[in-house]
Amino acid sequence: MTETNLRSIDVEDFAVREHRSLWLDAWHRLTSNRTAMIGLVVVVIFILSAVLAHFLWDYDPKTDLNYSVKLLAPQLTTSEGSSLIHIFGTDKLGRDIFRRVVHGGWNSLRVGLVAVSISLVIGSILGLLSGFFEYIEMNAIESLVLMLLLGVIIGALPAWIARQPFQIVGYGVLGAGSVLLKQYTDIKKRYRFVIFTMAGALMGVVFGIFSAPLVALVCGILGLAIGILLANPISGNLFSNIVMRIMDIILSFPSYLLAIAIVAFLGPGLEKGMLAIGFVGIPIYARLARSAVLSVSQKEYVLAANAVGESHPRILFRHILPNILSPIIVQATMGLANAILSAAALGFLGLGAVPPEPEWGAMLGESYKYLSSGAWWAVLFPGLAIMLSVLGFNLLGDGLRDALDPKIRI
C-alpha cells in the first residue's frame, strides 16, 4: 500500500484490505494446514474408492463364496483354488477381504451421509427455530402454524386410541383456534382455559363414542388435557424450552444403546441403521444450531435488519443461517466420522447391515473369533479401514474448525 502517485487527498478510493471472499480466505487457511490436508487426502481417497467401486466394480455378496480358499493369509500371487490375488487374504467363507473392504466403504459412506443428513437437517431446523424464537416474538402466522402442528401432533394420541384419524384434524383446528382467538378477541385467560378444556373433552368423547364407552372416557380425559395445553398460544420462549428439553432427554441416553434399541425396534437392515444413527445425532445439531443462533441474533446486524423492516424468514435465511454454518460444517465433518464408527459398532453386534452385505463392523464381528487361530488379516484390514477413515474425517474437521473460525491475534 505504498502510495506512489496521489493526485489529491482522495483516499476513500481504496479499501483497506484486498478483495477476498470469506470462504476463499477459509480455503486458503485450510490448504496451508498440513494435518488438515492429510485428512482431506484420506477422505478423498475414501470417497473415491467407495464410489468408483460401487459403480465400476461389480460385486454380488450373495454369490461370493469360495470355501476352498477360506482363511487364506495375504498373498501376492494366486493360489490353488482361486484365480484372484488376495492381497488382504480371505475370510471364513473364502471371500476376498480386499474386495469386501473396498465395497464396504460404499456402505459406510452411505450410512455416514444419510445419517448425518438426517441429524443435520432436522437438528439444525429445530435448533434454528428454538434459538430464533427464544427472544423474538412470533408473529400471528408463525404462532398459527406452530399451534396447528402442535394440535396435530398431540392429537395423534387420542386419534390412535380411538382409531379415528379424523380427530387429528379436529385437534389441529383447536390449536389454530387458540391463536385466532387470542388475536381477534379479548377473552381472558381463565375463560379460554374453560372453553378449550370443554372443547377438548367434548371432542375426545364424541370421537371415542364411535368405538366404545371406555374409549370415550379415556379420550375425553386426554382431550381435556390437550385442551388445557392448547388454550394459550405457546410463546416462543416456551417452545424453545420444550424443544430443548426433548433434546436433553434424547441426549441422556447413551447414544449407542439408543441406536441399538431403535434398530431392534425397527428391524434389521442398513437403512434402519441409518435412521437410528441419524435420530440419535439430532440433539447435537439442535444444541449447536441454537447456541450459534443465540449468539448471532444478539449481534447488531440482526437488530439492524429488524430496523430496516425485514421479515422473519428473510432474517433467518439471509442473516442468521449464513453465519451459523461454520460450526455446523465442522460438526458435520466430525459427525461423519462418528456415524461410520456407529455403523461399525452396530454391524459388529450383528445389527444394522445384514450379512452378507460387506460392512466393516460386520466383518470385524464375523472374524474376531478366528483371531486366536492366527487369522489376523480378517480383523486388521477392516479395522484399519474404519480407523483411517474416521481419522481422516477428524483431521479434516479439526482443520475446518481452525480455517472457518481463526483466532485473531494482535
Partner 1 sequence: MSGENSVLVQVKNLKKYFPVNQGILFKRHVKDVKAVDDVSFTIKKGETLGLVGETGCGKTTVGRTILHLYKPTSGQILFDNIDLTGLGENEMRRMRQRMQMIFQDPYASLNPRMTVGSIISAPLDVHTKLNKAQKRERVQELLSIVGLNSGFVNRYPHEFSGGQRQRVGIARALAVNPDLVICDEPISSLDVSIQAQVVNLLEELQDRLGLTYLFVAHDLSMVRHISNRMVVMYLGKIMELADRDEIYQIPLHPYTRALLSAVPIPDPDKASRRERIILEGDIPSPLNPPKGCNFNTRCPLATEICFQSEPAYVDVGSNHFVACHHAG
Partner 2 sequence: MDEHIQVRDMKPLLKINDLKTQFHTEDGIVNAVNGITYDMNPGEVLGVVGESGCGKSVHALSIMRLIQIPPGEIANGEIWFNGQDLLKLSDNDIRKIRGRDIAMVFQDPMSSLNPVYTVGFQIVEALKLHKNMRTKEAREKAADLLALVGIPEARKRLDNYPHQFSGGMRQRAMIAMALSCDPKLLIADEPTTALDVTIQAQIIDLVIKLQEELGMAVMWITHDLGIVAEMVHKINVMYAGFIVERGNVRDIYKGTLHPYTKGLLGSLPSIDEAPGTKLISIPGLPPDLVCLPKGCPFYARCVYREDRCKYERPSLEKADSNGHLVACWRWKENLTEGVK
Point out which residues bind partner 1 (CB under 8 A). Answer: 12-22, 139-140, 299-301, 303-311, 314, 318-319, 322-323
Alpha helices by DSSP H, listed for 185-235, are: 189-209, 213-230
Cis peptide, bond prior to residue 233, ω within 30 of zero: no
Least distance in angstroms from the C-beta of 325 to partner 2: 24
Identify residue 130 by its one-letter amino acid code: S
Q: What is the DSSP string of 1-19?
A: ---S---SS-GGGS-SS--
Q: Coil, helix or strand for 29?
A: helix
Binding site for partner 2 (CB under 8 A): 1-3, 6, 9, 11-12, 16, 409-410
Of the candidates 313, 353, 304, 339, the residue with the CA atom closest to the CA atom of residue 116: 339
Q: Which is nearer to partner 1, 162 or 302 (CB)?
A: 302
Least distance in angstroms from the C-beta of 332 to partner 1: 18
Least distance in angstroms from the C-beta of 1 to partner 2: 4
Please give the Cα distance from 373 to 36 (Å, whole number). Answer: 39
Least distance in angstroms from the C-beta of 357 to partner 1: 42
Of the candidates 308, 312, 333, the residue with the CA atom closest to the CA atom of residue 404: 333
Please give the Cα distance from 280 to 259 (Å, whole number). Answer: 6
Q: Which is nearer to partner 2, 16 or 214 (CB)?
A: 16
Q: Which does 188 bind (CB under 5 to 8 A by kind): partner 1, partner 2, none?
A: none
Q: Which does 319 bind (CB under 5 to 8 A by kind): partner 1, partner 2, none?
A: partner 1
71: Cβ contacts below 8 Å, ≥ 6 apart:
89, 90, 91, 92, 94, 370, 373, 375, 378
Q: Which is nearer to partner 2, 245 or 409 (CB)?
A: 409
Least distance in angstroms from the C-beta of 25 to partner 2: 11
Of the candidates 171, 148, 174, the residue with the CA atom closest to the CA atom of residue 159: 171
Q: Which does 76 bind (CB under 5 to 8 A by kind): partner 2, partner 1, none?
A: none
Please give the Cα distance from 310 to 319 (Å, whole number). Answer: 10
Q: Which is nearer to partner 1, 211 or 323 (CB)?
A: 323
Q: Which does 6 bind (CB under 5 to 8 A by kind): partner 1, partner 2, none?
A: partner 2
Q: Which is nearer to partner 1, 309 or 374 (CB)?
A: 309
Least distance in angstroms from the C-beta of 184 to partner 1: 12
Q: Which is nearer to partner 2, 9 or 56 (CB)?
A: 9
Q: Which does 2 bind (CB under 5 to 8 A by kind): partner 2, partner 1, none?
A: partner 2
Here the cell at position 126 is 429445530
Q: Which is nearer to partner 1, 18 or 58 (CB)?
A: 18
